[in-house]
Amino acid sequence: MLASSLEQHINSVYQYHCLDPVNFILLFQPVQFGNTSRPGSPPTGGEHGHGSPFTMGDESISKTEFDQAFTSNGFDAPPTAYYNAFISPRVKNLAGITSKRELAMFLANVIHETGGLKYLEEINGHESCKKGKYRDVWGSNPAEPNKNKCYHGRGPIQLTYPQNYHDASLAIFKDAATLIDNPERVLTDKQTGWETAAWYWGSRVGNQPGVKEGQFGSSINAINGAEECRGQNQDKAAKRKEYYANIFRLWRISGQVDLSGC
């Protein structure tokens, strides 16, 4: 990503979803999707941190391929610690990713949102909170924000808004208070960061029409469709598509790249 485009990306504010102006980070274990996990496989690190593949049915992705998803798009390979957190079974279960193609979709969006996993916290997020942003709650079980906390973008997927912190906390920790009272944990704890990213994908993106069928544009629509599919930031959608197409080809995924849905 060129410096000017990255600066524009950092300064843009995504108000619609979990991802926000500053970009985020995210991800799993040479993890095995579906019911293909080998008994006794280490939950993190171990041999997998050195490039052993993880499988989804008859497909596999190594640590090397994970790194290449970033480097082929002009970013540095992430530190191994991020990969080790990414490959945990908890992340796998929360994300519900069922194919190599869907994992490529997930990573392409992560790369775009985080500037290649460089930005874990929204720039000027606290200032945005002071101006009254990120207060919204919704749904049948509305969050009760801690008035002393700010719910700006943090972590792999730039979790924002108290309701998203609330719902992610319930799914991950079985109580709302963990992230409502300590939203900073999404930033400071790599495992929690990946888990919130996985939760967001599984509950807000991967279950949307077209995503499981491989329509990459549908994932963009689920994440920030109002801005990037129908609004003024369609150039950002084009960049996401570029990242996805690069990963798709690099990983030699079967079939054709499908960018429809946005």
Give me the DSSP letters along 122-148: -TTHHHHHHTT-S----SSS-----TT
Comparison of pLDDT for 112 and 44, the residue scoring more: 112
pLDDT of residue 51: 39
Residue with tokens 């960049």: 239
Q: Is residue 32 pLDDT above 60, yes or no?
A: no
Stretch 230-244: mean pLDDT, rounded? Answer: 96
pLDDT digit string (tens) for 191-209? 999 999 999 999 999 999 9
Please report the beta strands in the chain, taking only residues with DSSP state E, as ranges in sequence order: 54-56, 59-61
* pLDDT tier for residue 3 given thresholds of 50, 70 and 90: very low
Q: pTM (2 decimals)?
A: 0.78
Q: What is the pLDDT of residue 88?
A: 85
pLDDT of 76-111, one tens digit each?
A: 999 999 888 888 888 888 999 989 999 999 999 999
**Residue 40 pLDDT greater than 50, yes or no:** no
pLDDT at 123: 86
Closest CA to 55 of 31, 39, 35, 38: 31
- Residue 256: pLDDT over 80: yes
pLDDT of residue 53: 47
Say whether pLDDT at 44 is over 60. Answer: no
Give the CA distances from residue 49 to residues 28, 31, 54, 64, in Å, rounded to whole numbers and listed in that order: 11, 11, 11, 10
**Residue 160, φ and ψ in degrees, nearest 5:** -135, 160
Least confident of 39-43, 141-145, 183-187, 189-193: 39-43
Catalytic one of 113, 121, 195, 228:
113
Least confident of 127-131, 168-172, 202-206: 127-131
What per-residue confidence (pLDDT) applies to 157? 83
- Looking at residue 92, its pLDDT comes to 86
Instruction: Write down the pLDDT at residue 260.
Output: 98
Please tell me the predicted confidence (pLDDT) of residue 58. 58
Distances (CA, A) of 108 to 41, 124, 228: 27, 25, 15
Confidence bin at 56 (pLDDT 50/70/90)? low
Residue 75: which residues within 8 A CB-CB, separation 6 or more? 1, 111, 115, 116, 117, 118
pLDDT above 80: residue 145: yes
Work out the average pLDDT over 170-180: 97
Predicted pLDDT of residue 59: 64
Is 113 a catalytic site residue?
yes
Which residue would you say has higher pLDDT here, 165 or 16? 165
